[in-house]
Amino acid sequence: MDFTMSDRQRYWRDRVIAFMDAHVYPAIPTYDAQMEGFGANRWQVVPVLEELKAKAKAEGLWNLFLPPSAEHDDDEFHGAGLTNLEYAMCSEQMGRVGFGSEVFNCSAPDTGNMEVLHRYGSRYQKETWLRPLMAGQIRSAFLMTEPAVASSDATNIETSIRRDGNDYVINGRKWWSSGVGDPRCKIAIVMGKTDTGAAKHMQQSQILVPLDAPGVKILRHLPVFGFDDAPHGHSEVLLENVRVPAENLILGEGRGFEIAQGRLGPGRIHHCMRTIGVAEVALEKMIKRIQSRVAFGKRVSEHSVWEQRIAEARIDIEMTRLLCLKAADMMDKVGNKVAKLEIAMIKVAAPRVALKVIDDAIQAHGGGGVTTDFGLAKAYAHIRTLRLADGPDEVHNRSIARMEMGKYVNH
């Protein structure tokens, strides 16, 4: 073990930091002003973001998330060649700004979708959707969760994908379909059942559905707390007799869970490291705030209750970061499957610590904390969804416990 960053780790991370400093942080006011300028129709492409993307692409800070992989190597479709661990360090930096990851073409759910296409996609699927995704020309969605069932248990998912001649016909209702609100979003990967009679984990498949296919209806954009998350958004989508060619099916019937497993690891690390970035920003704001205010005859920062909160924040953030980095390192070396304990752990740990730190930061800001002036309430709302997205804490804790108990099962 070695806790010093390698030159290569530092190289990539520092380039991202430098780019954030030079271009992304200074662009925040412009981004906000352009969103503000949209008025009621907020589901639009923000011009400054496209400018930033062009710059990042030109500098080679692009598709950093896609790990090198001999197994899935493809000359034409490759990322910047970072390991998961190297990328994790970059990812924290990107996460410090809400739209940061997208600047580097590293934002969810595109990252997961690109990985899936990269690993499991046919040549046709890659040409058609992976190419423009990697170029940052289109965006994509992943339609998994359903409002009618406890999706924490993915075997509950009910959308049907029925073979009909050379097509598949899809019927179902999805929600939390993130990114569907964006006008650039052209393609969705949809999870559903091709065979309800098969073994429990062989019933599901994943299929590519263009968003302009007849029968795809965006019912509404779901607010998170009261935030619309425009222009990205989280949508409720009705799929009514949506017909797509059979070649849109990924990997094969019944392989939906297999694809899901392959997908989940890297995405969780990205989410968790971005979450660490959010927590760091909250801690920084908390400290600056209490240093700038006076109450009862002294700076708020001199009231020792805040010392305890800051120290706990620093401890918990640092510990969680290390665990995330370890999980990333394990993914690089032993793969998703062996690292599944670590991946489950960070999925639970990272939002937990960030919510605590953000909540304390809100408290430090008084009334300013719960409104939009400091971004803290929005950060809280966003991170709160991560205790539910991709499975609630309880399900991941259950997995962890079962692995743990498995050690002693025959004692």
Residues in 147-166 at the binding interface with a second copy, rule: CB under 8 A: 147, 149-153, 156
Per-residue DSSP letters for 220-231? EEPPBTTB--TT
Buried b (16+ CB within 10 A) or exposed e, 322-346: ebbbbbbbbbbeeebeebbebbbbb
Q: How far is the CB of 293 from a second copy (least distance, A)?
A: 4
C-beta of residue 188 within 8 angstroms of C-beta of residue 211:
yes
Kindly state whether residue 196 participates in binding a second copy, applying the rule CB under 8 A. no
Question: Which of residues 101 and 301 has its CB atom nearest to a second copy in the complex?
Answer: 301
Closest to a second copy by CB, 26 vs 366, is 366
From 79, 256, 267, 369, residue interacting with a second copy (rule: CB under 8 A): 369
C-alpha–C-alpha distance, residues 106 and 67, integer Å? 12
Element (H, E) at 160: strand 160-164
Residues 129-148 that bind a second copy (CB under 8 A): 145, 147
User: Of residues 345, 354, 358, 361, which one binds a second copy by CB under 8 A?
Assistant: 345
Question: What whole-number distance in Å separates Cα of residue 359 and Cα of residue 354?
Answer: 8
Query: Could you give the 3-state DSSP secondary structure of residue 150?
Result: coil
Which residues inside 113-132 make contact with a second copy, applying CB under 8 A? none
Residue closer to a second copy (CB basis): 121 or 172: 172
Q: Which residues 200-259 are close enough to bind a second copy by CB under 8 A?
A: 222-228, 234
Q: Tell me the closest approach of the beta carbon of residue 102 to a second copy, in angstroms.
A: 20
- Stretch near a second copy under the rule CB under 8 A, chosen from 113-121, 129-137, 268-276, 341-349: 341-349
Residue 190, interface with a second copy (CB under 8 A)? Answer: no
Rounded to whole angstroms, the Cα distance separating 157 from 241 reads 17
Site string for a second copy, 53-92 (x = CB under 8 A): --------------------------------x-------
Please report how close the Cβ of residue 208 comes to a second copy at its closest, in angstroms. 23
Q: CA-to-CA distance for 333 and 326, rounded, in angstroms?
A: 10
Query: Is 311 an interacting residue with respect to a second copy (CB under 8 A)?
Result: yes
Sole binder of a second copy in the list 22, 37, 127, 293 (CB under 8 A)? 293
Polymer length of the chain: 411
Stretch that binds a second copy, among 19-27, 98-106, 243-251, 385-393 (CB under 8 A): 385-393
Does residue 171 belong to the site contacting a second copy (CB under 8 A)? no
In this chain, which stretch among 23-31, 91-99, 112-120, 280-288 interacts with a second copy, using CB under 8 A? 280-288
Report the residue number, 210 or 392, with the smaller CB distance to a second copy.
392
Please check whether residue 236 is in contact with residue 177, taking contact to mean a CB–CB distance below 8 angstroms: yes
- Phi and psi of 301, rounded to 5°? -65, -15
DSSP annotation of 5 reads: P
Assigned token pair, 353: 């610590």
Site for a second copy in 6-45 (CB under 8 A): 6, 9, 40
CA separation, residue 319 to residues 326, 350, 353, 382 (Å): 11, 10, 10, 22
Instruction: Tell me if 411 contacts a second copy by CB under 8 A.
Output: yes
Q: Which member of 90, 368, 374, 375 binds a second copy (CB under 8 A)? A: 368
394 binds a second copy, rule: CB under 8 A: yes
66, 306, 357, 375: residue in contact with a second copy (rule CB under 8 A): 306
Report the Cα 44 to chain-centroid distance in Å.
21
Which residues in 320-339 contact a second copy (CB under 8 A)?
320, 322-323, 325-326, 329-330, 333
List 1, 58, 70, 199, residue binding a second copy (CB under 8 A): 1
Own/partner contacts of 118-123, CB < 8 Å, gap of 24 or more, are: 118/66, 118/72, 118/74, 118/77, 119/69, 119/72, 119/262, 120/250, 120/251, 120/255, 120/259, 120/262, 121/250, 122/247
Largest CA distance in the chain: 79
Number of shown-chain residues binding a second copy (CB under 8 A):
100
Q: How far is the CB of 42 from a second copy (least distance, A)?
A: 12
Strands 216-221 and 234-245 come out as antiparallel
